[in-house]
């Protein structure tokens, strides 16, 4: 039987899991427990024997994983019947300690714990997921796959902020970048679609989901990316502002008396598309825009303008570009965003084919014209598969 990996993504009140065949990426089953710790936790599981969908109290992550194991028994496949070679854990922040996925041991847990100040919302939940899974599945190797690791190849001039240099040594202040698992996956797929080795191609990846980030990838290595110390910097997102003048924090403290936490919260949870249009879900923004809502139009324009600026910047960083790749919910599904972000870029050799753009699947994801010097590709991301592949590579090397 072929090797499978149980991929776990633990959030503060959720646990997402998927049993993935490492070679093909096929998910034998997947599920999600949401609202952990609330009275009406929600658990969905989809397996070969059917769907499970239930609401009941699930007190903590341990109970959530127990519920998942139980759902594997009832909806299949029973975990004992599958050749599971590893548990792969998504970990958001690996700091500059982790440039690659790593086997979980006590030392790794201590290192990820040390990184909590850099990702106070994410790393504690990821750690909770690891600890619970190690307790319930003690005979399997566990591998941590870091969202930041792919961007550890950034050169110092791309990751260093122009601030007093002791801030890096004292507080770890630098660009780390996120969505690395997605950027590495789709850039590899792009090279495959172009029929070339990843080491030969330069790619700009636009991961446009609830969170959004751009990356400049030269020969398979990330050389710049839009998210920074935290996932707040860069593109406009569902609820996050992306780039802004860093003086805004101080200005709001002086004129509105806001604390650092209040401004942080507003920039992370009340800004982006939500702040401008009132809706963070891109489909809702599109509906309102189609109905003539001016704020929705403004939000759309800001969102696409920011993407275009990053394409220009990363084009200049890379020098030559073989492909621009759109991925994640908005990137994969919004032909309007792709068309607006790439409008008027023919001088850069970027020629969008509007018919293909309307239906990327019909042209294997190619949405540029046949003679476009830069290919434009729509590639579904698959972070679970990438985590599974990386977990297998780690255990084979260990
Ligand atoms: P993700 O984080 O990759 O799941 O992406 C979530 C974002 O993708 C949300 O803003 C959704 O509104 C958006 N999205 C999902 N499907 C579509 C679609 N068909 N058209 C436009 N946006 C979509």
Give the C-alpha separation, 44 to 84, whole Å.
21
Tell me how far the alpha carbon of residue 330 lies from the centroid of ligand 1, in angstroms.
4
Residue 292 falls inside a structural domain: yes
Is the minimum distance from the CB of 329 to ligand 1 under 6 angstroms?
A: yes
Same domain membership, residue 224 and residue 81 = no
Same domain membership, residue 219 and residue 315 = yes
User: Does residue 86 register a pLDDT over 90?
Assistant: yes
Domain count within the chain: 2
Task: Answer whether 144's CB lies under 8 Å from 212's CB.
Answer: no
User: Does residue 65 register a pLDDT over 80?
Assistant: yes
Is the minimum distance from the CB of 274 to ligand 1 under 6 angstroms?
A: no
User: Does residue 6 register a pLDDT over 90?
Assistant: yes
Tell me how far the alpha carbon of residue 209 lies from the centroid of ligand 1, in angstroms.
6
Helix (H, G, I), strand (E, B) or coil at 336: helix
Q: Which atom of ligand 1 is nearest to the CA of 210?
A: 2
User: Does residue 388 register a pLDDT over 80?
Assistant: yes
Residue 354 CB-half CA count within 13 A: 4
Is the minimum distance from the CB of 332 to ligand 1 under 6 angstroms?
A: no
Residue 153 falls inside a structural domain: no
Same domain membership, residue 355 and residue 236 = yes
Same domain membership, residue 201 and residue 75 = no
Ramachandran region, residue 290 (left: φ > 0; alpha: ψ -120 to 50; beta: rest):
alpha
Residue 183 falls inside a structural domain: no
Q: What is the pLDDT of residues 316-369, one digit of tens each?
A: 999 999 999 999 999 999 999 999 999 999 999 999 999 999 999 999 999 999
Same domain membership, residue 225 and residue 137 = no
Tell me how far the alpha carbon of residue 336 lies from the centroid of ligand 1, in angstroms.
13
Got the DSSP string for 224-243?
Answer: EES--SSTTSSS--SS---S
Q: State yes or no: 179 annotated in a binding site.
A: no
Task: Answer whether 240's CB lies under 8 Å from 268's CB.
Answer: yes
Question: Of 113, 131, 146, at which residue does a domain stop?
Answer: 146
Tell me how far the alpha carbon of residue 347 lies from the centroid of ligand 1, in angstroms.
30
Which residue is it, tokens 């014209």? Answer: 369
Beta strands at 84-91 and 4-10: parallel, antiparallel or unpaired? parallel
Same domain membership, residue 107 and residue 243 = no
Task: Answer whether 368's CB lies under 8 Å from 360's CB.
Answer: no
User: Does residue 121 register a pLDDT over 90?
Assistant: no
CATH number of domain containing 109: 3.30.420.40
Same domain membership, residue 202 and residue 119 = no
Beta strands at 15-21 and 27-34: parallel, antiparallel or unpaired? antiparallel
Name residues whose C-beta falls within 8 Å of residue 45's C-beta, 6 or more positions apart in sequence. Answer: 29, 30, 31, 51, 52, 53, 68, 71, 72, 75
As beta bridge partners, residue 325 has 205, 377
Same domain membership, residue 129 and residue 45 = yes
What confidence score (pLDDT) does residue 355 get? 98
User: Does residue 1 register a pLDDT over 70?
Assistant: no
Q: Which atom of ligand 1 is nearest to the CA of 238?
A: 10
Same domain membership, residue 134 and residue 194 = no
For the segment 189-209, the average pLDDT, to the nearest whole number, is: 98
Calculate the alpha carbon distances from 77 to 4, 70, 84 in Å: 12, 10, 11
**What pTM was estimated for this model as a whole?**
0.97
Across the chain, mean pLDDT equals: 97
Is the minimum distance from the CB of 333 to ligand 1 under 6 angstroms?
A: yes
What confidence score (pLDDT) does residue 129 get? 97
* pLDDT class of 281 with cuts at 50, 70, 90: very high
Report, as residue numbers or ranges, the catalytic residues: 147
Domain that holds residue 359: 189-383
Residue 173 falls inside a structural domain: no
Q: What is the pLDDT of residues 16-31, one digit of tens each?
A: 999 999 999 999 999 9
Question: Of 146, 171, 198, at which residue does a domain stop?
Answer: 146
Give the C-alpha separation, 190 to 381, whole Å.
11
Same domain membership, residue 216 and residue 85 = no
Q: State yes or no: 66 annotated in a binding site.
A: no
Q: What is the pLDDT of residues 227-238, one digit of tens each?
A: 999 999 999 999
Residue 171 falls inside a structural domain: no
Among 272, 328, 330, 332, name the best residue to mutate to test ligand 1's pocket (greatest count of ligand atoms within 8 A of Cβ). Answer: 330
Give the C-alpha separation, 256 to 282, whole Å.
30
For the segment 74-100, the average pLDDT, to the nearest whole number, is: 96
Same domain membership, residue 35 and residue 111 = yes
Give the C-alpha separation, 65 to 56, whole Å.
14
Is the minimum distance from the CB of 281 to ligand 1 under 6 angstroms?
A: yes
Same domain membership, residue 94 and residue 18 = yes
DSSP state of 138: T
């Amino acid at each position: 039987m072929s090797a499978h990996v149980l991929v776990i993504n633990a959030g503060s009140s959720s646990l997402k899991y998927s049993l993935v065949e490492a070679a093909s990426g096929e998910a034998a089953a997947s599920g999600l427990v949401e609202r952990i710790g609330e009275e009406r936790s929600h658990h969905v599981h989809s397996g070969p024997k059917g769907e499970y969908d239930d609401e009941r109290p699930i007190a903590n992550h341990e109970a959530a994983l127990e519920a998942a194991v139980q759902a594997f028994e009832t909806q299949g496949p029973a975990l004992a019947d599958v050749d599971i070679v590893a548990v792969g854990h998504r970990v958001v922040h690996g700091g500059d300690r982790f440039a690659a996925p790593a086997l979980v041991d006590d030392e790794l847990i201590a290192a990820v714990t040390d990184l909590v100040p850099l990702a106070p919302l994410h790393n504690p939940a990821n750690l909770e997921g690891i600890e619970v899974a190690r307790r319930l599945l003690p005979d399997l190797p566990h591998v941590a796959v870091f969202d930041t690791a792919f961007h550890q190849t950034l050169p110092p001039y791309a990751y260093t902020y122009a601030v007093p240099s002791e801030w890096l040594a004292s507080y770890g202040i630098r660009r780390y970048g996120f969505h690395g698992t997605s950027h590495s996956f789709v850039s590899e797929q792009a090279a495959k679609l172009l029929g070339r080795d990843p080491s030969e191609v330069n790619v700009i990846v636009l991961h446009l989901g609830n969170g959004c980030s751009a990356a400049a990838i030269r020969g398979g290595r990330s050389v710049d990316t839009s998210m920074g110390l935290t996932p707040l910097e860069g593109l406009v997102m569902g609820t996050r502002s992306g780039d802004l003048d860093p003086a805004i924090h101080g200005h709001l403290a002086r004129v509105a008396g806001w604390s650092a936490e209040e401004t942080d919260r507003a920039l992370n949870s009340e800004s982006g598309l939500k702040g401008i249009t009132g809706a963070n879900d891109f489909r809702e923004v599109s509906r309102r825009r189609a109905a003539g809502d001016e704020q929705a139009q403004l939000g759309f324009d800001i969102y696409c303008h920011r993407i275009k600026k990053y394409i220009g910047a990363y084009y200049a960083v890379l020098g030559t570009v073989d492909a621009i790749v759109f991925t994640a919910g908005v990137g994969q599904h919004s032909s309007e965003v792709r068309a607006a972000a790439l409008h008027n870029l023919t001088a850069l050799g970027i020629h969008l084919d509007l018919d293909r753009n309307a239906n990327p699947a019909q042209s294997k994801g190619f949405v540029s014209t046949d003679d476009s010097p830069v290919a434009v590709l729509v590639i579904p991301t698959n972070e679970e598969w990438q985590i599974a592949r990386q977990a297998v590579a780690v255990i084979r090397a260990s």
